[in-house]
């Protein structure tokens, strides 16, 4: 692939042509290095991935917002050097703010590492939520999602809304519905996301329909995107944990259907959540 010539002082100088070509270069006074910007989709969750292992980027909220909007992405993943893992991953949401964890992003990040020439089948990744392992499973990518934490159970926010609050790296308010297509995401999503009970940071909101004891359909209103996304890995994990609680399961394997029409496989062995699914360049 031909590399586009660019010497930006910061990422706000990225243009759509560079995002679409997936590659650009930057020349410093001391050396010349290639800096990749690659777009990936994790089951419909779209990210720009940036190599900043040299620590030369200065990502401002305005730059993040601009890049996400022009690249039609939900967030940005930045590769950084790490002293405690093989590599570190920084996560930024569409609104320019940082996030501690993103499950689909972590799986996309594994594919991005191969683009950087890091082709080991398994890597440890430092995230804001702790160390996570990520590895290839055939054509799919699996990621450790940590130990889920039940923060609140069966809390009634008003006469119509009862939620469970589960932390799978980031908090998710889980709302069970009878018909996922009729889930009141446009109205209840923002209401729950900004409810005083979850201040000051707010929460993600995931609506869940239990299709069978091992199959769920979900829709997620994501904090930081401030709207519905086509997939949410931490939301899929939180939905599976909440469904398992309803079914009194200590261990489980579930298929979670996301808004893109794709599915994520979520398993739990009473210690560690693992999410497996597609991660492809787009």
* Active-site annotation, residues: 102, 232
Q: Please state, in angstroms and rounded to a whole number, the distance separating the CA atoms of residues 103 and 139.
A: 17
Closest CA to 79 of 45, 44, 33: 33
Residue 233 structure tokens: 């890995």
Alpha helices in the chain (DSSP H): 16-21, 61-71, 103-115, 185-193, 233-246
Strand partners for 5: 25
Which stretches within 12-132 are classed as H helix?
16-21, 61-71, 103-115
Q: What are the tokens at 31? A: 């050396």
- 77 vs 229: CA distance, rounded Å: 16
- Which of 55, 102, 92 minimizes the C-alpha distance to 71? 92
Q: Say if residues 165 and 152 touch (Cβ distance below 8 Å).
A: yes
Return the number of other C-beta atoms located less than 10 Å from residue 271's C-beta.
Answer: 8
The 3-state DSSP composition of the chain as helix, strand, coil percent (nearest 5) reads 20, 45, 35
């Amino acid at each position: 692939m031909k590399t586009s010539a660019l010497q930006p002082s910061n990422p706000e100088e990225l243009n759509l042509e560079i995002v679409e070509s997936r590659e650009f270069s930057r020349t410093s006074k001391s050396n010349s290095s290639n800096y990749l910007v690659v777009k990936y989709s994790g089951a419909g969750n779209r990210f720009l991935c940036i190599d900043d292992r040299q620590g030369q980027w200065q990502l401002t909220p305005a730059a993040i917002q601009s890049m996400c909007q022009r690249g039609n992405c939900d967030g940005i993943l930045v590769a950084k050097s790490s002293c405690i893992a093989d590599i570190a991953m920084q996560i930024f949401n569409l609104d320019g703010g940082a996030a501690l964890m993103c499950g689909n992003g972590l799986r996309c990040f594994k594919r991005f590492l191969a683009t950087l020439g890091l082709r080991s089948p398994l890597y440890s990744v430092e995230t804001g939520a702790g160390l996570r392992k990520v590895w290839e499973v055939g054509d799919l990518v699996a990621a450790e999602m940590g130990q889920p934490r039940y923060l609140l159970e069966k809390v009634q926010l008003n006469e119509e809304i009862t939620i469970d609050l589960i932390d799978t790296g980031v908090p998710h308010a889980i709302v069970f519905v009878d018909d996922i297509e009729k889930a009141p995401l446009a109205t209840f999503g923002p209401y729950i996301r900004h409810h005083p009970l979850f201040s000051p940071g707010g929460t993600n909101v995931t609506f869940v329909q239990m299709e069978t004891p091992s199959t769920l359909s979900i829709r997620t209103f994501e904090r930081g995107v401030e709207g519905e996304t086509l997939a949410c890995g931490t939301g899929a994990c939180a939905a599976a944990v909440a469904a398992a609680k309803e079914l009194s399961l200590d261990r489980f394997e579930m298929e979670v259907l996301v808004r893109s029409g794709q599915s994520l496989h979520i398993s739990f062995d009473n210690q560690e959540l693992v999410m497996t699914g597609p991660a492809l360049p787009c």
